[in-house]
């Protein structure tokens, strides 16, 4: 039997928990292929879900980390488009069969292995997600909701007590629920991920505490349950949903609207309406008016209103606010429909479990997901939450070892805890929100994969974390807060970072270091909350220092934020909280009579709309409510400021908007914005002369792949002869490096608008380093190794210039680094509907899991609506100024060297300069390799271009023969997506340029560089010959408390690769190794980049 299959099937933990690496590291290519064939067969026949998933992860890892690095593996191999299409459509099995048949016929190669790795990886996660979905559906209390498909079958009724108006006030009673959030004091090393709890329940333990919270301020705020929800009957046949903190309110009249989650900011409320059974999930697609259902549940002409409010807790707090908000909403809906024994008070244990199960369902419906401990706020106080082995009564029995839902054991004073432990914890712990809001999704995938693979280092770390958990619980029981701090800190420094190095970051470490320096022994320890640090975090101090620490930490965080905010995406200003342990969990009260009013902020939100109506247009309830409100706000202290807030809301803040537009206009002026040219582009876009579909080359263009003899192999040109030529050129200082750092790196930060080149994304030589530091370290290594002094230019744009030049001036005084300031900018436009539809409907799109796909479609239809209502093709101005303008592609970054005098300066300082090597900020492996330089010089070419063999993720064009001419072609320009899959080589965007040759192509020479007018004239002449691509990019708009919206906007770019189409510019091409040519485009790539040895490679070519 195959060694790996015997590991998967083993029952003995010693064998079962062996790592893949232990077995594969010494295998030959043939051994690996034989293993994959055997596991492929096995995984199809295996009935046990987790064995099947582990087999899939093994297959993924072998194709991702072992086969491509075997000496005999071919680097060149085409991926069939049809397999790619299957992958996009989530038909993983079909894609796998195609890849395997090619592998069988032609042998293993890098490209096919990249396709197989992706397919197995996605299939593994899909299998796990399907099981969670099945378990959520099968949970008792949820099942019936999938069977009820017509409003006539709705068995739930709104309780009578809620349907009876108070005789005096004329108001319906209002059910008011308050819910704490939860913090996870142990940090379980992510073992609360559903998949992991189900795979290894004994390893899934957390210590979870329900807390009340407030932001520490000077106004004497005291902690209270941060989540409030309301439910009441109204005399209109609608479901009225209001999110008070998100300032959104909507009347729903149709069943289908309830399932339209992304239409507005009310998705969570809609998910609660569905998961609680008010509109059961089985009714999706019923296509009926909601009044039919409401009449059955509440009565003729009646409806319900549900409102929520999160009190001042910013997004990304790592306190599971959204899950507990969902749970609170579900709880209040369940109470109102008689699904709990008591309408008010705290819930019983079984009811809490049901609320948690329904919250998981709600999260799945909304296309999101949390851990199984996240609804911990529903339970009171401190509790241990543990994974549980499934038994014959559970739907998971026979499928996974663990149950979907864990077990909660509330720790009470009497049996387990010392009486003063709560006070002690409150007296020592400082909870903060560092201001970063990051997507933890990739981290959760990384952890799942590593645990299921039983990767040795991570598995050992996990065992340590389990041990630390026991220690933390023991210390808690003995009341030893300092002991707890010691272990939470050890956990962060040890297992957490060993499993996921990206859990920490330079911002967090700077804060910890500063706190440690200032508070010395009185700082007892750090504690990371949630998936990553930088957002919600805890610092534990000696009690006497807590108050002082609360004040200082805020200052320390603000200073650290200022230091790193150019490179790290922050969603908000850091805050410090006050907290108190909540001993009730979620609880409800029934408000009657004149007390049955909603929160005062609710009225600020809804009154402007209500009072616009004539009195006779208001319902009886609304009239009664206005009457009660009118007398209450005068006599109740918490309505202070109500009228002011109401006026602020009703009268738009014109002044602020004017200021914003003025700032943008000034910025455009300052940056040399070309208004007439912009107007022309707008007109062409609006009239359809340009657009996404017009980027493409004519359909009759002949596009062919390049033969291997038409370009040079890096290995073949790494000869003594070329090396010597390059070495002499280096020693003679004939080369300068140009790093393109003008782009916003929108894929890296998902449109956050920070400077990617300044993001300290990984630790090198014991310190977090950013891209610029790494490129300078490479140049430093080259200088030492080849005894030269390379000049190094970083290009910039309006977005990056200040930050990049500031960083270089402050941190790299001894280097020869200069910044070439970008001057050309564009103003973003609201996209045309036809371009959005082209992008989403005509171009192949990756499908998401069933429910997430529905949500995505809902988002897209909302965005199309946004474009229509805000004016297609109009200027995009409704954001921060820097987010409204855009760099116009890296083509301009090279002529900018002529325009802004940088090239002239370089030549002036170093007349020997003859060549430049230009590369992207994220191509970390590109360095001044003497052999490649020697080859470039020997070819006498104007430009030598590095390409890499294509893998699945390498999308966006490549090297091709276009109508017989060898050149780079952008993916946007290909007449048909399928064409890209015919191309073996991908453009790494590293160019070696002969300066004089290039100047000649521009119609210039070295002397002309002093003639600004001529340079401008020649550059714009050349620019006119280059195609402009219309592209759509995502930009983030931040608002509220750490909330972010992402909008697609239209912008224009010219790209340097199109220079290869010029007949007068002779180009040569070099196929380089992947380590040298690969680019880091997304944060999610980092883990694979670390594991496959790429990081070590970068380390080896740097000198710090």
Partner 1 sequence: MKITKALITAAGPDQRNLALQTLVDRDGQRKTVLEILISEVRNAGIEEIGIVVLPDDIELYKSIVNFDTQIHFIAQDKARGYGYAVLCGAAFVGNDYFLHLVGDHLYVNRSAQPCAKHLVEIAQKHQCPVSAVTSTRENLIPNYGTIGGRRIPASTDLYQIEKVIEKPTPTLAEQKLIIPGLRAGHYLCFLGMHVLSPTIFTLLATKAEQTEGQKFGLSEALNELTTKEQYLALEKNDLRFDIGSRYGLLKAQLALALTGDDRDQILSELVEFLTIRNLS
- When the beta carbons of 588 and 628 are compared against partner 1, the nearer one is 588
3-state secondary structure 906-919: HHHHCCCCCEEEEE
- When the beta carbons of 339 and 1079 are compared against partner 1, the nearer one is 339
Q: Answer yes or no whether residue 156 interacts with partner 1 by CB under 8 A.
A: yes
Nearest partner of 270 among 243, 303, 301, judged by Cα: 243
Q: How many residues does the chain have?
A: 1104
Nearest partner of 489 among 523, 519, 461, judged by Cα: 523
Q: Answer yes or no whether residue 558 interacts with partner 1 by CB under 8 A.
A: no
- When the beta carbons of 155 and 441 are compared against partner 1, the nearer one is 155
**At closest approach, how far in Å is the CB of 1 from partner 1?**
39
- When the beta carbons of 282 and 975 are compared against partner 1, the nearer one is 282
**At closest approach, how far in Å is the CB of 142 from partner 1?**
8
- When the beta carbons of 361 and 741 are compared against partner 1, the nearer one is 361
The DSSP output letter for 48 is -
Residues 6 or more apart whose CB falls under 8 angstroms from that of 784 comprise 1103
- When the beta carbons of 114 and 339 are compared against partner 1, the nearer one is 339
The whole-angstrom distance between residue 831's C-alpha and the CA centroid of its chain comes to 23
The DSSP output letter for 314 is -
Dihedral angle, C-alpha 1072, 1073, 1075, 1081, nearest 10 °: 60
- When the beta carbons of 140 and 707 are compared against partner 1, the nearer one is 140
**At closest approach, how far in Å is the CB of 301 from partner 1?**
18
CA distance from start to end of the chain:
49
Q: How far apart are CA 321 and CA 325, in angstroms?
A: 6
**At closest approach, how far in Å is the CB of 116 from partner 1?**
40
Stretch that binds partner 1, among 260-268, 336-344, 559-567, 911-919 (CB under 8 A): 336-344
Q: How far apart are CA 515 and CA 947, in angstroms?
A: 47
**At closest approach, how far in Å is the CB of 412 from partner 1?**
25
Stretch that binds partner 1, among 335-343, 454-462, 478-486, 978-986 (CB under 8 A): 335-343
Binding mask 230-269 for partner 1 (x = CB under 8 A): ----------------------------------------
- Confirm if 1087 and 499 have CB atoms less than 8 A apart: no
- When the beta carbons of 196 and 405 are compared against partner 1, the nearer one is 405
Pairing verdict, β 239-243 and 205-215: unpaired
The DSSP output letter for 173 is P
The DSSP output letter for 180 is -
**At closest approach, how far in Å is the CB of 271 from partner 1?**
17
Q: Max alpha carbon distance in the chain (Å)?
A: 99
**At closest approach, how far in Å is the CB of 359 from partner 1?**
14
**At closest approach, how far in Å is the CB of 155 from partner 1?**
5
**At closest approach, how far in Å is the CB of 353 from partner 1?**
9
B/e letters for 652-685, b = 16+ CB within 10 Å, e = fewer, are eeeeeeeebeeebeebbeeeebeeeebeebbebb
Span 789-848, contacts to partner 1 by CB under 8 A: none
- Using CB under 8 A, pick the residue from 242, 249, 339, 788 that binds partner 1: 339
**At closest approach, how far in Å is the CB of 369 from partner 1?**
22
- Using CB under 8 A, pick the residue from 91, 133, 157, 477 that binds partner 1: 157
- When the beta carbons of 126 and 149 are compared against partner 1, the nearer one is 149
Span 584-613, contacts to partner 1 by CB under 8 A: none
**At closest approach, how far in Å is the CB of 269 from partner 1?**
19
Q: Answer yes or no whether residue 494 interacts with partner 1 by CB under 8 A.
A: no
- When the beta carbons of 233 and 959 are compared against partner 1, the nearer one is 233
Q: How far apart are CA 69 and CA 63, in angstroms?
A: 9
Q: Answer yes or no whether residue 388 interacts with partner 1 by CB under 8 A.
A: no
Helices (H), 506-592: 506-519, 546-564
Q: Answer yes or no whether residue 338 interacts with partner 1 by CB under 8 A.
A: yes
Binding mask 97-136 for partner 1 (x = CB under 8 A): ----------------------------------------
**At closest approach, how far in Å is the CB of 500 from partner 1?**
38
The residue count for binding partner 1 (CB under 8 A) is 21
Phi then psi dihedrals of residue 1044, to 5 deg: -140, 135
- When the beta carbons of 140 and 715 are compared against partner 1, the nearer one is 140
**At closest approach, how far in Å is the CB of 280 from partner 1?**
9
- When the beta carbons of 141 and 1088 are compared against partner 1, the nearer one is 141
What sign does the dihedral 966-972-974-977 (CA atoms) show?
Answer: positive
Q: Answer yes or no whether residue 154 interacts with partner 1 by CB under 8 A.
A: yes
Q: Answer yes or no whether residue 397 interacts with partner 1 by CB under 8 A.
A: no
**At closest approach, how far in Å is the CB of 333 from partner 1?**
11
Q: How far apart are CA 95 and CA 126, in angstroms?
A: 14
Q: Answer yes or no whether residue 354 interacts with partner 1 by CB under 8 A.
A: yes
Residues 6 or more apart whose CB falls under 8 angstroms from that of 564 comprise 506, 507, 510, 760
H or E stretch at 20: helix 20-24
- When the beta carbons of 140 and 784 are compared against partner 1, the nearer one is 140
- Using CB under 8 A, pick the residue from 350, 721, 842, 909 that binds partner 1: 350
Dihedral angle, C-alpha 917, 920, 922, 928, nearest 10 °: 0
Stretch that binds partner 1, among 300-308, 330-338, 641-649, 813-821 (CB under 8 A): 330-338
- When the beta carbons of 297 and 453 are compared against partner 1, the nearer one is 297
The whole-angstrom distance between residue 2's C-alpha and the CA centroid of its chain comes to 38
Span 134-153, contacts to partner 1 by CB under 8 A: 140-145, 147-148, 152-153
- When the beta carbons of 147 and 846 are compared against partner 1, the nearer one is 147
**At closest approach, how far in Å is the CB of 177 from partner 1?**
17
Q: How far apart are CA 880 and CA 271, in angstroms?
A: 32
Q: How far apart are CA 182 and CA 385, in angstroms?
A: 12
Q: How many other C-beta atoms can be found within 10 angstroms of the C-beta atom of residue 510? A: 19
- When the beta carbons of 150 and 547 are compared against partner 1, the nearer one is 150
- When the beta carbons of 360 and 511 are compared against partner 1, the nearer one is 360
- When the beta carbons of 160 and 813 are compared against partner 1, the nearer one is 160
**At closest approach, how far in Å is the CB of 355 from partner 1?**
11
On the 0-12 / 13-18 / 19+ scale of CB atoms within 10 A, 834 is middle
**At closest approach, how far in Å is the CB of 1092 from partner 1?**
48
- What DSSP line would sit under 974-1030, residue for residue? -SSHHHHTT--EEEEEEEEEEHHHHHHHTT--TGGGG-HHHHHHHHHHHHHHSPPEE
Q: How far apart are CA 640 and CA 635, in angstroms?
A: 9
Residues 6 or more apart whose CB falls under 8 angstroms from that of 388 comprise 201, 402, 403, 405, 406, 407
Sheet holding 817-820, edge to edge: 712-713, 1067-1071, 943-949, 985-994, 915-920, 735-740, 791-795, 817-820
Nearest partner of 103 among 83, 131, 89, judged by Cα: 83
Q: Answer yes or no whether residue 155 interacts with partner 1 by CB under 8 A.
A: yes
**At closest approach, how far in Å is the CB of 145 from partner 1?**
8
Q: Answer yes or no whether residue 721 interacts with partner 1 by CB under 8 A.
A: no
Q: Answer yes or no whether residue 334 interacts with partner 1 by CB under 8 A.
A: yes
Q: Answer yes or no whether residue 337 interacts with partner 1 by CB under 8 A.
A: yes
Q: Answer yes or no whether residue 470 interacts with partner 1 by CB under 8 A.
A: no
Which residues of this chain interact with partner 1, rule CB under 8 A?
140-145, 147-148, 152-157, 277, 334, 337-339, 350, 354
């Amino acid at each position: 039997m195959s060694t790996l299959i015997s590991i998967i099937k083993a029952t003995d933990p010693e064998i079962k928990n062996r790592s893949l690496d232990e077995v594969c590291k010494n295998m030959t290519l043939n051994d690996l292929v034989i293993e994959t064939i055997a596991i492929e067969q096995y995984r199809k026949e295996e009935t046990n879900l987790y064995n099947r998933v582990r087999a899939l992860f093994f297959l993924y890892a072998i194709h991702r980390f072992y086969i491509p690095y075997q000496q005999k593996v071919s680097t060149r191999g085409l991926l069939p488009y049809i397999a790619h299409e299957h992958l996009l459509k989530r038909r993983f099995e079909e894609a796998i069969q195609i890849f395997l048949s090619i592998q069988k016929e032609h042998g293993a190669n890098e490209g096919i292995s990249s396709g197989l790795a992706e397919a197995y990886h996605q299939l593994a996660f899909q299998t796990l997600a399907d099981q969670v979905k099945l378990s959520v559906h099968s949970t008792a209390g949820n099942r019936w909701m999938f069977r009820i498909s017509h409003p006539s079958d709705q068995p739930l009724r709104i309780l009578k007590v809620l349907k009876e108006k108070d005789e005096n006030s004329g108001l319906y009673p209002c059910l008011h629920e308050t819910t704490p959030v939860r913090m996870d004091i142990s940090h379980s090393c992510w073992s609360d991920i559903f998949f992991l709890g189900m795979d290894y329940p004994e390893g899934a333990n957390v210590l979870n505490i329900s807390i009340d919270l407030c932001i520490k301020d000077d106004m004497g705020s005291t902690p209270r349950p941060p989540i409030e929800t309301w439910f009441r009957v109204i005399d209109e046949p609608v479901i009225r949903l209001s999110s008070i903190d998100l300032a959104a309110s909507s009347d729903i009249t149709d069943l289908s609207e309830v399932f339209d989650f992304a239409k507005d900011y009310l998705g969570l409320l809609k998910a609660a309406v569905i998961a609680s059974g008010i509109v059961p999930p089985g009714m999706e697609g019923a296509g009926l008016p909601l009044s039919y259902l409401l009449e059955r549940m509440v009565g003729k002409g009646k409806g319900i209103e549900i409102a929520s409010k999160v009190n001042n807790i910013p997004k990304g707090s790592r306190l599971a606010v959204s899950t507990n908000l969902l749970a609170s909403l579900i709880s209040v809906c369940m109470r109102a429909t008689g699904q709990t024994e008591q309408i008010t008070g705290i819930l019983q244990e079984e009811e809490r479990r049901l609320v948690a199960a329904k919250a998981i369902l709600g999260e799945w419906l909304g296309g999101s997901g949390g851990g199984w401990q996240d609804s911990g706020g529903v339970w009171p106080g401190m509790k241990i939450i543990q994974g549980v082995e499934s038994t014959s009564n559970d739907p998971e029995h026979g499928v996974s070892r663990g149950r979907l839902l864990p077990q909660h054991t509330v720790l009470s004073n009497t049996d387990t805890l010392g009486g003063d432990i709560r006070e002690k914890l409150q007296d020592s712990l400082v909870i903060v929100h560092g201001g970063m809001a990051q997507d933890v999704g990739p981290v959760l995938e990384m952890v799942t994969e590593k645990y299921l693979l039983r990767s040795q280092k991570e598995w050992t770390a996990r065992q340590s974390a389990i041990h630390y958990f026991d220690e933390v619980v023991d210390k808690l029981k003995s009341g030893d807060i300092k002991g707890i701090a010691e272990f939470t800190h050890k956990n962060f420094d040890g297992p957490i970072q060993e499993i996921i190095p990206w859990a920490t970051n330079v911002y967090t470490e700077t804060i910890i270091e500063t706190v440690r320096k200032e508070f010395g022994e009185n700082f007892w320890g750090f504690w990371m909350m949630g998936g990553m640090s930088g957002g919600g975090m805890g610092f534990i101090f000696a009690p006497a220092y807590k108050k002082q620490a609360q004040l200082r930490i805020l200052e320390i965080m603000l200073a650290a934020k200022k230091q790193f905010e150019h490179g790290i995406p922050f969603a908000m200003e850091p805050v410090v909280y006050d907290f108190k342990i909540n001993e009730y969990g979620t609880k409800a009260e029934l408000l009657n009579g004149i007390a049955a009013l909603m929160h005062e902020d609710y009225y600020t939100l809804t009154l402007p709309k209500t009072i616009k109506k004539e009195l006779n247009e208001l319902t009886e309830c609304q009239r009664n409510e206005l009457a009660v409100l009118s007398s209450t706000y005068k006599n109740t202290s918490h309505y202070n400021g109500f009228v002011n807030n109401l006026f602020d809301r009703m009268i738009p803040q014109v002044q602020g908007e004017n200021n914003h537009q003025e700032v943008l206009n000034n910025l455009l002026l300052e940056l040399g914005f070309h208004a007439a040219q912009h107007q022309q582009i707008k007109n062409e876009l609006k009239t359809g002369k340009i657009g996404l579909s017009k980027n493409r080359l004519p359909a009759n263009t002949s596009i062919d792949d390049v033969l291997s003899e038409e370009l040079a192999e890096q290995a073949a040109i790494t000869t003594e002869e070329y090396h010597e030529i390059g070495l002499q050129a280096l020693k003679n200082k004939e080369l300068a490096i140009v790093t393109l750092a003008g782009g916003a790196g929108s894929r890296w930060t998902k449109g956050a608008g920070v400077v990617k080149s300044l993001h300290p994304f990984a630790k090198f030589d014991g310190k977090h380093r950013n891209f610029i530091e790494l490129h300078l370290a490479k140049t430093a290594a080259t200088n030492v190794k080849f005894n030269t002094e390379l000049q190094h230019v970083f290009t910039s744009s309006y977005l990056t210039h200040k930050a990049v030049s500031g960083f270089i001036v402050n941190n790299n005084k001894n280097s020869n680094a200069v910044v070439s300031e970008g001057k050309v900018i564009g103003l973003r436009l609201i996209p045309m509907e036809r371009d959005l539809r082209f992008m989403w409907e005509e171009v192949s799109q990756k499908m998401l899991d069933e429910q997430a796909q529905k949500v995505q479609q809902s988002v897209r239809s909302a965005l199309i609506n946004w474009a229509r209502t805000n004016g297609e093709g109009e200027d995009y101005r409704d954001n921060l100024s820097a987010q409204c303008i855009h760099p116009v592609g890296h083509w301009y970054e090279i002529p900018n060297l002529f325009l802004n005098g940088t090239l002239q300066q370089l030549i002036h300082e170093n007349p020997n300069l003859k060549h430049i090597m230009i590369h992207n900020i994220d191509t970390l492996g590109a360095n001044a390799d003497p052999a490649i330089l020697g080859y470039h010089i020997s070819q006498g070419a104007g430009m030598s271009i590095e390409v890499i063999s294509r893998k699945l993720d390498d999308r966006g064009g490549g090297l091709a023969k276009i109508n017989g001419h060898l050149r780079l072609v952008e993916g946007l320009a290909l007449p048909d997506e399928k064409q890209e899959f015919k191309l073996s080589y991908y453009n790494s965007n590293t160019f070696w340029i002969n300066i004089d040759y290039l100047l000649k192509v521009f119609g210039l020479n070295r002397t002309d560089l002093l003639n600004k007018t001529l340079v401008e004239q020649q550059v714009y002449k050349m620019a006119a010959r280059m195609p402009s691509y219309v592209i759509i990019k995502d930009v983030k708009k931040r608002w509220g408390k750490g909330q972010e919206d992402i909008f697609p906007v239209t912008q224009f770019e010219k790209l340097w690769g199109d220079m290869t189409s010029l007949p007068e510019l002779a180009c040569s091409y070099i196929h380089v190794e992947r380590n040298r040519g690969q680019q880091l485009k997304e944060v999610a790539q980092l883990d694979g980049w670390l594991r496959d040895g790429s990081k070590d490679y970068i380390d080896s070519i740097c000198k710090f």
